[in-house]
Amino acid sequence: MPIALSVKTTHRIDMIDITSSVQKEVSNTGIQDGICAVYVPHTTAGITINEGADPDVCEDIMAKLSELVPSRRGYRHTEGNADSHIKASLMGNSLSVLVENGRLVLGTWQKIFFCEFDGPRSRKVYVKVIC
Amino acid sequence: MPIALSVKTTHRIDMIDITSSVQKEVSNTGIQDGICAVYVPHTTAGITINEGADPDVCEDIMAKLSELVPSRRGYRHTEGNADSHIKASLMGNSLSVLVENGRLVLGTWQKIFFCEFDGPRSRKVYVKVIC
Amino acid sequence: MPIALSVKTTHRIDMIDITSSVQKEVSNTGIQDGICAVYVPHTTAGITINEGADPDVCEDIMAKLSELVPSRRGYRHTEGNADSHIKASLMGNSLSVLVENGRLVLGTWQKIFFCEFDGPRSRKVYVKVIC
């Protein structure tokens, strides 16, 4: 089984900073130099990297996604989460981040965000480092 | 040359489940543990992972993309497929999936979908496993 | 430190073909066979692969992104670039491209584009090849 982080989300639409949890798993592997794959095994959640300093950035991302892909009726999929699936594909569910000297190589303002689109739920994120 | 899957699409906009074909190529490599890169070498097609159980999910994704990026006139690119290029960039053309015990590590509901935005056509998808 | 390309952008929203610079760094590694990760360490810029032959394709992509995510007021983030952050997450900030015989394996019409959403600026792109 791959390394799996547990993520608890608290709203239907939510963005959770998982950077330190991903870094901890990278550190646990002992790998100094490689590529870290971060993978969301869900179909109504995604992953993105964006600014972590001002939480309003995530609020704006979520508001815009909800404006472009509203959760109203009118979809064919009748489970009430058609919008969640669409949002997930727009954000994507896999990322690659470089690892150097045992650390994720992120830009100054970058944080890794788990994107919940059909919460609140308990979710998983897989992490794997290849060197 | 990389491993290349052939994909036949049957509509202008189409999503084709290629999961079993990708898995077959992963199995052929004999690699038990690694990362599988899936890459679309076209500019009017993309790739995404989403729910495969209810085909209406893909219908909703395609309908929303066509609503946000309609195929009407008004673009600068005059080949009639400007919308196809835009949809391709919104979905993305590369994915990474973990491989463990020789199997793609996908979530319960996840399938890998080739996204055609200017079909019907014969297309290629490259697959490579790194360990 | 990872290999870092420097990219100069000249407009607020801009797409710059960085394919030959990425290929040069791949060649410098001497690696013949692997996966090339291309990573943007910024939160108001992204990366995509699309058609390079007709510059109107990029114009259409930028125009549509600006229509879907306009740069007007009304966002919570008050630095005037909320739209730039949203556009960055829609495009994504990491890519994987296969490498065979020391060359990026790109489709006939594909070029790698750095996507500026809050320029003009001097930017970085990280490149790493894993084999």
Question: Each residue of C70-87: pLDDT tens digit?
Answer: 998 789 998 999 999 999
* pLDDT score of C35 more than 90: yes
Quick one: pLDDT at residue C1? 75
Neighbour subunits, C (≥3 Cβ pairs < 8 A): A, B
Q: Average pLDDT over chain C, rounded to whole?
A: 97
C8 band by pLDDT with thresholds 50, 70 and 90? very high
What is the pLDDT averaged over residues A97-102? 98
Q: Is the pLDDT higher at A115 or at C73?
A: A115
Amino acid letter, A14: D
Q: Hey, what are B10's tokens?
A: 């049957």
Query: Residues in chain B whose beta carbon is closer than 8 A to a beta carbon of chain C?
Result: 1-2, 35, 37, 39-43, 68-69, 75-79, 82, 85-86, 88-90, 92-94, 96, 126, 128, 130
- This prediction's pTM: 0.97
Confidence bin at C115 (pLDDT 50/70/90) = very high
Residues 6+ apart with CB under 8 A from B26: B36, B99, B102, B103, B104, B127, B129
In CATH, which superfamily holds the domain spanning A3-130?
Answer: YjbQ-like (2.60.120.460)
Check if the beta carbon of residue A40 is closer than 8 Å to that of residue A114: yes
What is d(CA B110, CA B49) in angstroms, rounded to the nearest whole number? Answer: 6
- For chain B, the 3-state helix, strand and coil shares in percent, each to the nearest 5, are 25, 35, 35
pLDDT in tens, B83-112: 999 999 999 999 999 999 999 999 999 999
Cβ neighbours, 10 Å, residue A32: 13
Overall average pLDDT of the B21-28 stretch: 98
**Residues on chain B touching A78 (C-beta within 8 angstroms):** 56
* Chain B residues whose beta carbon lies within 8 Å of the beta carbon of residue A95: 96
**Tens-place pLDDT, residues B38-95:** 999 999 999 999 999 999 999 999 999 999 999 987 899 989 999 999 999 999 999 9
Radius of gyration for chain B, computed over Cα atoms and rounded to the nearest angstrom: 15
Predicted pLDDT at B59: 98
Instruction: Identify the CA nearest to C127 among candidates C51, C21, C32, C46.
Output: C21
Tens digit of pLDDT for each residue in A23-69?
Answer: 999 999 999 999 999 999 999 999 999 999 999 999 999 999 999 99
pLDDT of residue C90: 98
User: What does the domain layout of chain A look like in residue ranges?
Assistant: 3-130
Burial label for B122, CB within 10 Å (0-12, 13-18, 19+), is exposed
Mean pLDDT of B22-35: 97
Q: Closest-CA residue in chain C for B1?
A: C100
pLDDT value, residue B4 = 97
Do the beta carbons of residue A86 and residue A33 sit within 8 Å? Answer: no
Q: Exposed (0-12), middle (13-18) or buried (19+): which is A80, by Cβ within 10 Å?
A: exposed
The answer to whether residue C110 scores a pLDDT higher than 80 is yes
**Contact residues of A toward B, CB < 8 A:** 1-2, 35, 37, 39-43, 68-69, 75-79, 82, 85-86, 88-90, 92-96, 124, 126, 128, 130
Q: Please report the ipTM that was assigned to this predicted complex.
A: 0.97
